[in-house]
Amino acid sequence: MLDHRVLHSRTGTARRALLLTCGLAALGFVALLSLGLGSRSVPPGTVLQALLGTVHDRDALVITEMRLPRTVVGLVVGAALGLAGALLQGVTRNPLTSPTTLGINAGAGFAVVTAIYTLHLTQPIHYVWFAFAGATAAALFAQALARGAGDLDPVRLALGGTVLQLVLVSWTSALMLFSERTLDEARFWLAGSLAGRDLAVLTPVLPMLGIGASAGLLIMPALNTLALGDDAAHALGVPVARIRVTALVAVVLLAGSAVAVAGPISFIGLAAPHLVRLTVGTDHRWVLPGCLIAGPLLLLAADLAGRLLARPGEIEVGIITAFVGAPLLAVLARRATR
């Protein structure tokens, strides 16, 4: 019997490892497509030569100066959103929760629009610190509402974050109505996009991304115990409050940085954990690493679709994810009610 259980466990581990390997291969394929496809298609051989620096023609410049930074930003932002969504769903035990629930997107949007209105900012790299500060402040305020006089309540967290999001979105819309210039500058960023982002925009947030990812991955085993319920986790010696706070801090760092770089892109943090759980199961020791693959895979695929559907123009990736994510949310909500 023991040998049978050990064999079953090893088989399950090998299967999950194979699935993650296949996910990595799919991510590499989509990243290659992201480099080669767009308003102008470039053959794979030319893409490889451009990356190796053996050609320097117009196509090579398009790849190295525009598509490569865009693809790298998509990989980083997608991984951050996917991991943040998995952490948040794990600590709240709510499959419909995403970073948007904490008011992160709305907080970043309000801060950026306010900065554009008052300081006349014009470049995405100038938005980064304002977006991160707004996302952090909104998330901390939502946590304060959820904490009250006792421990952090996941239900109050979801409700408080949703209310805060609605308020901040209303304030943001009102502010843009006062200034047509602010509306023109902010609407592109608020749509959520990878276009026009170079690698310099990642530099300010890399430390936060590293700290957030490390903190999230360190608490993977504790999230499995937390899934049994707070009472069971306490009985097994898990410091529930500390794990929950650590996870939420990691979510703020990851999602806040992602929104600061690419704008408020929705549904990646919601969809990636569900996709991973469908393939590798509910063990967070596999779900969280899987989301580091599924998040950028979904984001780059959506960005690629936006480029191909409107050639020679493009549709912002935030619009694509919202268009696909809204029906997904309806399906998940219906399953949850059942």
The two tokens of residue 277 are 């759980």
Angle at 74 between CA 69 and CA 248, to 5 degrees: 130
Task: Work out the pLDDT band at 1, boundaries 50, 70, 90.
Answer: very low
Averaged pLDDT for residues 85-111: 86
pLDDT at 80 over 70: yes
Higher per-residue pLDDT: 83 or 45: 83
**Residue with structure tokens 């620096």?**
53
Tell me what pLDDT residue 190 has: 84
Q: What gap in Å lies between CA 260 and CA 244, rounded to an integer?
A: 24
pLDDT at 28: 95
pLDDT tens, residue by residue, 304-313: 999 998 888 8
pTM: 0.90
Instruction: Determine the pLDDT at residue 332.
Output: 65
Residue 171 CA to residue 158 CA, distance in Å, equals 20
Res 100: pLDDT: 82
Which residues, at least 6 apart from 204, have a Cβ–Cβ distance to it below 8 Å? 128, 129, 132, 260
What pLDDT does residue 2 have? 46
Phi, psi dihedral angles at 285 (to 5 degrees): -65, -20
Say if CB 238 and CB 222 are below 8 A apart: yes
- Report pLDDT for 152: 64
Q: What is the pLDDT of residues 258-279, one digit of tens each?
A: 988 998 898 899 899 999 998 9
- Write the pLDDT tens digit of every residue in 182-215: 777 787 788 888 988 888 889 889 999 999 999 9
How far apart CA 250 and CA 208 sit, in angstroms, is 9
What is the three-class DSSP state of 101? helix
Mean pLDDT (whole number) for 32-53: 88
The pLDDT-based confidence of 142 (bands split at 50, 70, 90) is confident
Q: Where are the alpha helices (DSSP H) in the chain?
A: 2-36, 44-52, 58-62, 68-92, 104-119, 124-147, 154-178, 180-191, 206-218, 220-226, 230-235, 240-262, 268-280, 284-309, 317-337
Average pLDDT of the residues in 138-145: 82
Q: Which domains does the chain have, with CATH numbers?
A: 41-337 (1.10.3470.10)
